[in-house]
């Protein structure tokens, strides 16, 4: 693995499987009376959030604390793009405090990449979502959820998602979740189809390792997992689609549509859901919807990433399991 986790595209298949396998072991810690490991004792991790995201921040924070890292939360809301210097200054301030890793969420695409590659700091950088670019831990937790549900918790160990058909529906244009998932799922051997109104698909998508369709009903019967992306209401005002009603009718997932998927198919959502827009309450609350699982899996995945990046003297090597030394 590389020293930083900036993009899902940076992960090899073996890296990704190692992270998923490690997360599977981390998940078991949650079942124990003492949900804590001493692994990152004495390491300091800062959660540097330039954008509001309570969910992602507490997920990282839980992961960091379960691994016994010292955690600093730094929320710099509203000081991102207008004062560009602040990213560098803030990062260097934190570096001076002896931080080992920076988990960064930023509204500007590429900010984590800059932080990792500009020579401003030495700490490892973990991207917790940047602009409309990437959100690699989200993609990893999604893949983890899929592998558990579609391959099996134990049967999945060491396995990827070869041959699984994943459909991602919604605002692909503005979605870092979609970008990360397309990269990672492709690396893991899955077949990805994006479904969206043409206005919400980026120019240049033809080079992505996936299919694009404008017809949700045609794709559903061939989907092992359907991932619904959040559609922000303000997109309507920017003329990406005419009305909320029309969007829901063409691209929303309701019970009737869900019935068109194979019986084993799952419905995923990165949250927060806009019920009634991209997903109906009936679907969101159904057995097949994995939203709550995804949240739990998020902590395991983030523990795995933190351990593999920070647990040793250098990032993990992604070949087979180790034998023990005495």
Partner 1 sequence: MDKQEKFDQQEKSAQRGKPDAAVQASDARPVLEGPDIARVLTRIAHEIVERAKGADDVVLLGIPTRGVFLAQRLAAKLEKITDRKMPVGSLDITMYRDDLRMHPPRALARTEIPGDGIDGRLVILVDDVLFSGRTIRAALDALNDIGRPRAVQLAVLVDRGHRELPIRADYVGKNLPTSLRETVKVLLAEEDGRDTVLLGAKPTS
Partner 2 sequence: MSKILIRGAKVLGGEPQDVLIDGETIVATARQGEIDWSGAGLSAEGAEVVEAAGKVLLPGLVDLHTHLREPGREDSETVLTGTRAAAGGGYTAVFAMANTFPVADTAGVVEQVYRLGQEHGYCDVQPIGAVTVGLEGKKLAELGAMHESAAGVTVFSDDGKCVDDAVIMRRALEYVKAFGGVVAQHAQEPRLTEGAQMNEGVVSAELGLGGWPAVAEESIIARDVLLAEHVGSRVHICHLSTAGSVEIVRWAKSRGIDVTAEVTPHHLLLTDELVRSYNPVYKVNPPLRTERDVLALREALADGTIDIVATDHAPHPHEDKDCEWAAAAMGMVGLETALSVVQETMVDTGLLTWAGVADRMSFKPARIGRAAGHGRPVSAGEPANLTLVDTEYRGLVDPAGFASRSRNTPYEGRELPGRVTHTWLRGKATLVDGKLT
64 binds, among partner 2, partner 1, none (CB under 5 to 8 A by kind): none
Kindly give, in sequence order, each residue whose CB lies less than 8 Å from that of residue 305, ignoring residues fewer than 6 positions away: 5, 19, 63, 126, 137, 140
Stretch of 33-41, 128-136, 160-168, 254-262 contacting partner 2, by CB under 8 A: 128-136
Identify the bridge partners of residue 42 per DSSP, sorted by sequence position: none
The full DSSP string for 20-84 is HHHHHHHHHHTTSSS----TTTT-EEEEEESS--HHHHHHHHHHHHHTT-EEEEEE-TT-SSTTT
321 binds, among partner 1, partner 2, none (CB under 5 to 8 A by kind): partner 1
Half-sphere exposure of 15 (CA within 13 A, CB side): 22
Closest CA to 114 of 99, 133, 141, 93: 133
Residues that bind partner 1 (CB under 8 A): 18, 21-22, 25-26, 28, 32-34, 36-39, 67, 307-317, 319-326
Closest CA to 241 of 182, 192, 174: 174
Among 12, 118, 162, 199, binds partner 2 (CB under 8 A): 118
Stretch 145-184 residues interacting with partner 2 (CB under 8 A): 176, 179
Q: Is 56 one of the annotated binding-site residues?
A: yes
Stretch 69-88 residues interacting with partner 2 (CB under 8 A): 80-85, 87-88
Is position 113 an interface residue for partner 2 (rule: CB under 8 A)? Answer: yes
Rounded CA-CA distance 189/191 in Å is 7
Among 28, 34, 154, 207, binds partner 2 (CB under 8 A): 207
In the complex, the residues that contact partner 2 under the rule CB under 8 A are 9, 80-85, 87-88, 106-111, 113-114, 117-118, 130-134, 176, 179, 202-208
Per the annotation, binding residues for L-aspartate are 83, 176, 230
């Amino acid at each position: 693995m590389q020293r930083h986790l900036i993009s899902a595209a940076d992960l090899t298949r073996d890296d990704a499987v190692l992270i998923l396998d490690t997360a599977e072991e981390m998940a078991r810690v949650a079942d124990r009376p003492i949900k804590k490991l001493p692994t990152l004792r004495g390491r300091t991790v800062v959660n540097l959030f330039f954008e509001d995201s309570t969910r992602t921040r507490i997920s990282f924070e839980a992961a960091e604390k379960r691994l016994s890292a010292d955690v600093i939360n730094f929320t710099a809301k509203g000081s991102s793009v207008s004062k560009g210097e602040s990213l560098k200054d803030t990062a260097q301030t934190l570096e001076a405090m002896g931080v080992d890793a920076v988990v960064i969420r930023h509204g500007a695409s590429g900010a984590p990449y800059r932080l990792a590659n500009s020579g401003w700091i030495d700490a490892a950088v973990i991207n917790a979502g940047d602009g409309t670019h990437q959100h690699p831990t989200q993609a990893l937790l999604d893949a983890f959820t899929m592998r558990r549900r579609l391959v099996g918790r134990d049967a999945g160990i060491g396995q990827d998602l070869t041959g699984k058909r994943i459909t991602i529906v919604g605002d692909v244009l503005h979605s870092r979740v979609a970008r990360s998932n397309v990269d990672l799922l492709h690396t893991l051997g899955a077949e990805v189809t994006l479904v969206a109104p043409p206005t919400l698909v980026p120019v240049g998508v033809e080079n992505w390792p996936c299919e694009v369709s404008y017809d949700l009903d045609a794709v559903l019967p061939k989907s092992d997992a359907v991932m619904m992306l959040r559609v922000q209401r303000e997109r309507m005002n920017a003329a990406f689609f005419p009305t909320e009603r029309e969007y829901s009718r063409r691209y929303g997932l309701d019970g009737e549509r869900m019935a068109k998927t194979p019986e084993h198919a799952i419905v995923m959502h990165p949250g927060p859901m806009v019920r009634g827009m991209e997903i109906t309450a009936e679907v969101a609350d159904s057995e097949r919807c994995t939203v709550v699982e995804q949240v739990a899996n998020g902590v395991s995945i983030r523990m795995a990433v933190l351990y593999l990046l920070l647990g040793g003297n250098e990032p993990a090597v992604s070949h087979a399991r180790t034998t023990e030394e005495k």
